[in-house]
């Protein structure tokens, strides 16, 4: 991993259960987040708690909001299947060409990256914030215990903790993906449940000192994608750059597509 330029508020680590799994999570978190961890809760802005075998983020200020990554519950009782033909995100990444490789350069808690992997894409998920990356890694670890999801994650999902601009800029020619997917900021989750809005507020607070350089990301993405860059925006937000080649609208968000066919010249 390259030195990480990201600035993250200090985090206290609490262990609320004594299971074998929790000890394994604890060892991993201590290793990956050593430079961020403080021992006194008074001096921290956030708390990472290990509870019920998962890693969760809480505000230190005593609110009860907590976030953890759960890929398993939404899939319970469901068969893995592709998206509907009308699904705007699937249309934007041109999902019908199954097996296409995607770099999700702003992985966050991995919801979009995981969906793309379940659809059949080979996904490299890049997240530079070490706390967010630790939560995502924890969600992947728990999902690996479910055989159906283990197959998907094993074959088609790779998590990289790194700055995506640096990662894309040093990508070998043979590793260039068909699609680079960008979802730069946790937007206001208007219309969602109060619980989801509180989660978003907590994540925005965690990332507040760490603004996303959207233009640098887009430029790096456009230089390496073999087929297209897809940028997720709020439905009525301005595009990151004009002209957009094609846009797919959902009820809340929009996917702007920038074709990169010029990158295929001579392939």
Measure the CA–CA gap between 121 and 227, rounded to whole angstroms: 14
Give whichever of 207 and 224 is closer to ligand SAM, judged by the CB atom: 207
Tokens of 225: 């994608």
- Pick one of 128, 142, 222, 228: the residue that binds ligand SAM (CB under 6 A): 128
Measure the CA–CA gap between 31 and 21, rounded to whole angstroms: 16
Measure the CA–CA gap between 83 and 98, rounded to whole angstroms: 11
111 interacts with ligand SAM by CB under 6 A: yes
Q: Which residue is nearest to ligand SAM (CB)?
A: 108
SS (H, E, C) the chain: CCCCCCCCCCEEEEECCCCHHHHHHHHHHHHHCHHHEECCHHHCCEEEEEECCEEEEEECCCCCCEECCCCCHHHCCCCCCCCCCCCHHHHHCCCCCCCCEEEECCCCCCHHHHHHHHHCCEEEEEECCHHHHHHHHHHHHHHCCCHHHHHHHHHHEEEEECCHHHHHHCCCHHHCCCEEEECCCCCCCCCCCHHHHHHHHHHHHHCCCCCCCHHHHHHHHHHHCCCEEEEEEECCCCCCCCCCCEEEECCCEEEEEEECHHHHCCC
**For ligand SAM, what does the binding mask look like between residues 35 and 74, x meaning CB under 6 A?**
----------------------------------------
As measured in angstroms, the least distance from the Cβ of 113 to ligand SAM is 7
- Pick one of 12, 57, 92, 109: the residue that binds ligand SAM (CB under 6 A): 109
165 interacts with ligand SAM by CB under 6 A: yes
Count the residues of the shown chain that bind ligand SAM, applying the rule CB under 6 A.
22
Q: Which residue has the tokens 């959902």?
A: 250
93 interacts with ligand SAM by CB under 6 A: no
Q: Which stretch binds ligand SAM (CB under 6 A): 9-17, 46-54, 127-135, 234-242?
A: 127-135
Q: Which stretch binds ligand SAM (CB under 6 A): 36-44, 73-81, 181-189, 253-261?
A: 181-189
83 interacts with ligand SAM by CB under 6 A: no
207 interacts with ligand SAM by CB under 6 A: yes
201 interacts with ligand SAM by CB under 6 A: no
Give whichever of 22 and 109 is closer to ligand SAM, judged by the CB atom: 109
As measured in angstroms, the least distance from the Cβ of 69 to ligand SAM is 9
163 interacts with ligand SAM by CB under 6 A: yes
As measured in angstroms, the least distance from the Cβ of 119 to ligand SAM is 14
186 interacts with ligand SAM by CB under 6 A: yes
Which residues of this protein are in contact with ligand SAM, per CB under 6 A? 105-106, 108-112, 126-129, 132, 163-165, 183-186, 207, 212, 217
């Amino acid at each position: 991993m390259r030195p990480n330029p990201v600035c993250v508020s200090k985090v206290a680590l609490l262990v609320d259960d004594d299971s074998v799994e929790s000890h394994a999570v604890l060892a991993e978190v201590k290793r990956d987040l050593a430079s961020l961890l403080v021992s006194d809760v008074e001096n921290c802005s956030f708390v990472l708690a290990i509870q019920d075998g998962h890693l969760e983020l809480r505000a230190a200020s005593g609110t009860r909001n907590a976030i953890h990554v759960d890929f398993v519950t939404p899939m319970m009782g469901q068969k893995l299947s592709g998206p509907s033909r009308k699904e705007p995100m699937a249309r934007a990444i041109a999902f019908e060409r199954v097996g296409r490789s995607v770099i999700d350069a702003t992985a966050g808690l991995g919801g979009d990256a995981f969906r793309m992997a379940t659809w059949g894409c080979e996904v490299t998920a890049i997240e530079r914030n070490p706390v967010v990356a630790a939560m995502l890694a924890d969600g992947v670890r728990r999902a690996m215990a479910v055989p159906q999801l283990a197959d998907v994650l094993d074959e088609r999902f790779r998590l990289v903790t790194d700055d995506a601009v640096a990662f894309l800029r040093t990508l070998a020619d043979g590793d260039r993906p068909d699609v680079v997917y960008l979802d730069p900021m946790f937007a206001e989750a208007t219309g969602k449940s109060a619980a989801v809005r509180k989660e978003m507020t907590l994540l925005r607070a965690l990332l507040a000192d760490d603004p996303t350089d959207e233009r640098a990301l887009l430029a790096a993405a456009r230089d390496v994608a073999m087929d297209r860059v897809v940028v997720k925006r709020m439905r009525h937000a301005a595009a990151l750059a004009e002209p957009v080649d094609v846009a797919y609208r959902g009820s809340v968000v929009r996917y702007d597509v920038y074709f990169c066919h010029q990158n295929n010249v001579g392939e």
